[in-house]
């Protein structure tokens, strides 16, 4: 249904962090909270990518994608052993 | 592994690979199902203190203590938050919420890459010998990202994030997914950041061969590894009541079959199920298989599960035949009952016998381990194949390495079949896949990193690729593809089979840095946002510059022309021409290299300019161009060739794959 949540990886433009945030993770958290009060970050990524992962509805994901500083909101993928 | 070190020439050339502190400071990170730390492959005897560069930890958790790490296994972490967010809490009665490997796959890959030397290794007596990883002196850091329900990209990315922070030198990922754009693929994005930090990322090509366009992990900053066979086999013959014998393979060890011919039955005729021939669980009629040998066919369920079903139904043994999907490739399994695997042709003959003889009988004769099998290597049928479905101008896979019937360390949590009803526990297991070939290359890359600490990931990959071989060293022509029985081509084997001793002194390398890859992204037409997603920076492609994927300094050449029926860029119906630029860096002595071009199709022209490159000092760079010209051809036509630079001592080879689509 439209309320079903899915995991997304949210890529952030680190250089676009607004003044006033001490740490990027605070900015990530504020961005997430702006579309969902209940959503929690699963991981904060610092080296492999800039961003975080979280469970969101499709609407929340789309809304987040329109926030300033958000580069992409990509659905989680499943990989398998070879 | 007990055979690949000698197959790769490592045993006779130990002096080429220094056992200095530099070599022992190389850290290989393995993203997989975790690790069984009690395996002797992780013994740290003879290793000095943990490298000062190491920033990682040994994470505690269920059945795993910090003290399970040592000077060989220097780090172990687990990542399951993404998995649990999607699938719910891990069932800790079935798998350990810790770095411990309850599956076996991770212990196998880690020990293949950098396991210590273990004397007297074998699986149930098969493949005996002294087992070792490729880089015996390197350190291991294990990142558990795969669980019973799969491997989730959020966890993989988190593990890569930590591995970069931990300061690994090589990352080995024997896993993959679909083929999506690089900026959408977590392994590709994580690998970009790793590459930038000087970490070589080696990934398995996938087991979706022999289908075309089946390679995964296609990004050019990843080393993509396909699989070949060894010169070792485990023969187990099928002997029929009509006197005919057929070759098969098996790792069965246990109570032998009665010393007589047994009734032989086709599973499809011993079941009421539609797919009875596949020996799926609960489909065989015990009354029809009891005490008999049963012929099952591959498909849907695991090979070892078919043996388990035959056993459960009271069968005395199993012959498992390939179908057209697998052809003649034989993969050995440690079945729970006497069983052997046969190729499709043999399977067809067995079925003819079963359907024509009123009282068919058979038995299986187990022959143990044989080495010196020729030809070897051959490209494994399952090994995923090119062309590259995302960027056809980048040839993938990059290289092949041993990946069939590989013995390496195993978990103590499950038996060699991995089945819940397998009570056996073994220190080593024999399994197959590009999962097994990938850590071979990861370990070899660690050896090169130890020998040449200043080489970039691209330089190490180049050395491995340009020195790979495509023809049998003992003569006999080009490497064979077991899927066809014919010579393999660069879409099957990439640059060829890895040759680590030659890779140590490649003479010249095709080096690349981050800017080269950023320019490549510009050539792909990536937007600034997509580049930022992938490369974590604001980067605007210079609008005054012309970017081309053909200018990426890749050690191989893939040329994609439009076919006769037209299409953009190929000039349908007329001749097409495309120019590639490459730069070679001297990593050897001063010398003059001359080029030679081999292309069997006279209508295809390959012009290299200049034809001679002289290097007077180390790290000197020289560029050349290659112009490929060809008339329009039918769609799906492929022409293969080779470009080699040689100074008489070194040969720097590049495969050429030209395709029309």
For the cut 70, the answer to whether the pLDDT of residue B3 exceeds it is yes
Residue B527: CB atoms within 10 Å: 12
Taking alpha carbons only, the member of B204, B195, B203, B202 closest to residue B164 is B195
Query: Which residues in A have their CB inside 8 Å of a CB on B?
Result: 7, 9, 11, 13-15, 42-43, 45-50, 53, 55, 71-72, 74, 76-82
Which residues have C-beta within 8 Å of that of residue A52, sequence separation ≥ 6?
A9, A10, A12, A25, A28, A32, A41, A42, A43, A44, A45
Is B178 part of the contact surface with chain A (CB cutoff 8 Å)? yes
Pairwise CA distance, residues B132 & B117, whole Å: 4
Is B70 part of the contact surface with chain A (CB cutoff 8 Å)? no
Pairwise CA distance, residues B271 & B282, whole Å: 9
B86–A9 CB contact, under 8 Å: no
pLDDT in tens, B165-176: 999 999 999 999
CB pairs under 8 A between A and B: 123
Which residues have C-beta within 8 Å of that of residue A60, sequence separation ≥ 6?
A35, A36, A39
- Residue B60, token pair as written in the block: 């505690």
B206–A81 CB contact, under 8 Å: no
Is B629 part of the contact surface with chain A (CB cutoff 8 Å)? no
A71–B529 CB contact, under 8 Å: yes
How far, in Å, are B395, B538, B657 from residue B641 at the CA level?
Answer: 13, 39, 7
| Per-residue pLDDT at B599 | 95
The residue from B25, B32, B68, B511 that is catalytic is B32
B654 is catalytic: no
CB B249 within 8 A of CB B330: yes
pLDDT in tens, B480-531: 999 999 999 999 999 999 999 999 999 999 999 999 999 999 999 999 999 9
Kindly state the average pLDDT of the residues B329-334.
93
Q: How confident is the model at residue B570 (pLDDT cuts 50, 70, 90)?
A: very low
| Per-residue pLDDT at B565 | 67
For the cut 80, the answer to whether the pLDDT of residue B303 exceeds it is yes
CB B451 within 8 A of CB B18: yes
pLDDT in tens, B12-30: 766 666 665 667 799 999 9
Q: How confident is the model at residue B563 (pLDDT cuts 50, 70, 90)?
A: confident
**Can you list the positions of beta strands (E) in B218-292?**
223-228, 232-233, 236-240, 245-246, 262-266
Indicate the SS3 state at residue B500.
helix
pLDDT in tens, B386-422: 999 999 999 999 999 999 999 999 999 999 999 999 9
Q: Nearest-CA residue of chain B relative to A51?
A: B533
Partners of residue A55 in chain B, C-beta under 8 Å? 85
What's the gap in Å between the CA of A41 and the closest CA on chain B? 10
Kindly state the average pLDDT of the residues B73-101.
97
Look-up: residue for tokens 């490369």? B535
In a mutational test of the B interface, the residue from A76, A77, A82 whose CB has the highest number of chain B CBs within 10 Å is A82
Q: Strands B557-561, B651-660: parallel, antiparallel or unpaired by DSSP?
A: parallel
pLDDT in tens, B342-371: 999 999 999 999 999 999 999 999 999 999
A45–B161 CB contact, under 8 Å: yes
Q: How confident is the model at residue B652 (pLDDT cuts 50, 70, 90)?
A: very high
Pairwise CA distance, residues B123 & B427, whole Å: 8
Q: Nearest-CA residue of chain B relative to A69?
A: B529
B105 is catalytic: yes
Of A50, A74, A81, nearest to B151 by CB-CB distance is A81
pLDDT more than 70, % of chain B: 97
For the cut 80, the answer to whether the pLDDT of residue B276 exceeds it is yes
Is B177 part of the contact surface with chain A (CB cutoff 8 Å)? yes
Of A11, A47, A79, nearest to B177 by CB-CB distance is A79
| Per-residue pLDDT at B18 | 63
The residue from B39, B68, B105, B462 that is catalytic is B105
pLDDT in tens, B104-126: 999 999 999 999 999 999 999 99
B108 is catalytic: no
Helix/strand/coil (H/E/C) assignment for every residue in A5-55: EEEEEEEECHHHCCCCCCCHHHHHHHHHHCCCCCCCEEEEECCCCCEEEEE
Of A50, A55, A79, nearest to B175 by CB-CB distance is A79
pLDDT in tens, B580-627: 999 999 999 999 999 999 999 899 999 999 999 999 999 999 999 999
Is B32 part of the contact surface with chain A (CB cutoff 8 Å)? yes
Is B385 part of the contact surface with chain A (CB cutoff 8 Å)? no
- φ and ψ at residue B32, rounded to 5 degrees: -165, -145
**For residue B370, what is the enclosing H or E element?**
strand B370-371
In a mutational test of the A interface, the residue from B82, B166, B227 whose CB has the highest number of chain A CBs within 10 Å is B82
- Residue B144, token pair as written in the block: 């558990």
ipTM surpasses cut 0.95 = yes
């Amino acid at each position: 249904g439209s309320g079903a949540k899915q995991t997304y990886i949210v890529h952030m433009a680190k250089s676009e962090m607004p003044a006033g945030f001490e740490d990027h993770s605070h900015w990530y958290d504020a961005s997430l909270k702006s579309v969902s009060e209940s959503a929690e970050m699963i991981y904060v990524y610092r080296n492999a990518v800039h961003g975080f992962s979280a469970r969101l509805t499709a609407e929340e994901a789309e809304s987040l994608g329109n926030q300033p500083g958000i580069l992409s909101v990509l659905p989680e993928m499943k990989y398998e052993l070879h | 592994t007990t055979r690949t070190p000698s197959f790769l020439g490592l045993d006779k050339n130990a002096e080429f690979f220094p056992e200095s502190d530099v070599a022992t400071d190389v850290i290989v990170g393995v993203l997989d199902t975790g690790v069984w730390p009690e395996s002797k492959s992780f013994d740290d005897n003879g290793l000095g203190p943990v490298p000062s560069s190491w920033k990682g930890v040994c994470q505690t958790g269920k059945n795993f203590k910090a003290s399970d790490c040592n000077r060989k296994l220097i780090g172990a972490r687990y990542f399951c938050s993404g998995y649990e967010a999607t699938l719910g809490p891990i069932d800790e009665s079935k798998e350990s919420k810790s770095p411990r490997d309850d599956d076996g796959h991770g212990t196998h890959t880690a020990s293949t890459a950098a396991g210590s030397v273990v004397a007297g290794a074998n699986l149930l007596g098969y493949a005996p010998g002294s087992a070792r990883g490729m880089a015996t002196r390197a350190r291991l850091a294990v990142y558990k990202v795969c669980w019973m329900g799969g491997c989730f990209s959020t966890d993989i990315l988190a593990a890569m994030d930590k591995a970069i922070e931990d300061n690994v030198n090589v990352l080995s990922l024997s896993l993959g997914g679909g083929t999506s754009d690089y900026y959408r693929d977590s392994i590709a994005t994580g690998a970009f950041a790793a590459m930038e930090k000087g970490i070589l990322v080696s990934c398995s090509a996938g087991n979706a061969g022999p289908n075309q366009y089946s390679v995964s992990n296609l990004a050019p900053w990843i080393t993509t590894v396909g699989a070949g066979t060894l010169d070792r086999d485990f023969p187990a013959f099928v002997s029929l009541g009509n006197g005919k014998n057929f070759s098969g393979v098996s790792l069965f060890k246990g109570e032998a079959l009665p010393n007589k011919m047994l009734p032989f039955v086709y599973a499809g005729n011993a079941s009421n199920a539609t797919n009875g021939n596949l020996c799926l669980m609960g489909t065989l009629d015990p009354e029809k298989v009891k005490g008999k040998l049963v012929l099952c066919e591959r498909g849907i369920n695991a090979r070892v599960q078919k043996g388990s079903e035959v056993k459960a139904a009271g069968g005395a043994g199993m012959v498992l035949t390939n179908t057209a999907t697998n052809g003649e490739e034989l993969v050995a399994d440690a079945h729970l009952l006497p069983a052997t695997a046969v190729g499709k042709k043999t399977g067809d003959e067995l079925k003819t016998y079963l359907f024509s003889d009123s009282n068919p009988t058979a038995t299986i004769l187990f022959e143990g381990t044989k080495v010196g099998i020729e030809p070897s290597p051959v490209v494994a049928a399952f090994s995923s194949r090119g062309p590259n479905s995302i960027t056809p101008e980048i040839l993938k896979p990059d290289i092949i390495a041993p990946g069939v019937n590989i013995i390496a360390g195993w978990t103590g949590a499950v038996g060699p079949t991995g089945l819940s009803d397998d009570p056996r526990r073994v220190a080593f297991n024999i399994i197959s896949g590009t999962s097994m070939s990938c850590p071979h290359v990861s370990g070899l890359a660690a050896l090169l990193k130890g020998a040449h600490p200043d080489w970039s990931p691209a330089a190490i990959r180049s050395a491995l690729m340009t020195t790979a071989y495509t023809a049998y060293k003992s003569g006999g022509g080009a490497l064979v593809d077991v899927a066809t029985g014919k010579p393999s081509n660069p879409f099957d084997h990439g640059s060829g089979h890895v040759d680590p001793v030659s890779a140590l002194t490649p003479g010249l390398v095709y080096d690349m840095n981050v800017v080269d890859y950023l320019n490549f992204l510009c050539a792909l037409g990536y937007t600034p946002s997509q580049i930022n997603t992938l490369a974590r920076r604001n980067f605007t492609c210079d609008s005054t510059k012309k970017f081309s994927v053909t200018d990426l300094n890749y050690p191989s050449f893939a040329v994609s022309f439009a076919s006769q029926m037209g299409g953009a860029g190929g000039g349908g119906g007329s001749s097409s021409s495309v120019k590639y630029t490459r730069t070679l860096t001297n990593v050897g002595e001063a010398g003059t290299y001359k080029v030679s071009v081999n292309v069997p199709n006279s209508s295809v022209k390959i012009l290299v300019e200049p034809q001679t490159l002289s290097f007077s000092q180390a790290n000197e760079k020289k560029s050349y161009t290659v112009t490929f010209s060809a008339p329009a051809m039918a769609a799906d036509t492929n022409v293969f060739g080779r470009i080699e630079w040689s100074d008489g001592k070194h040969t720097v080879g590049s495969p050429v794959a030209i395709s029309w689509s």
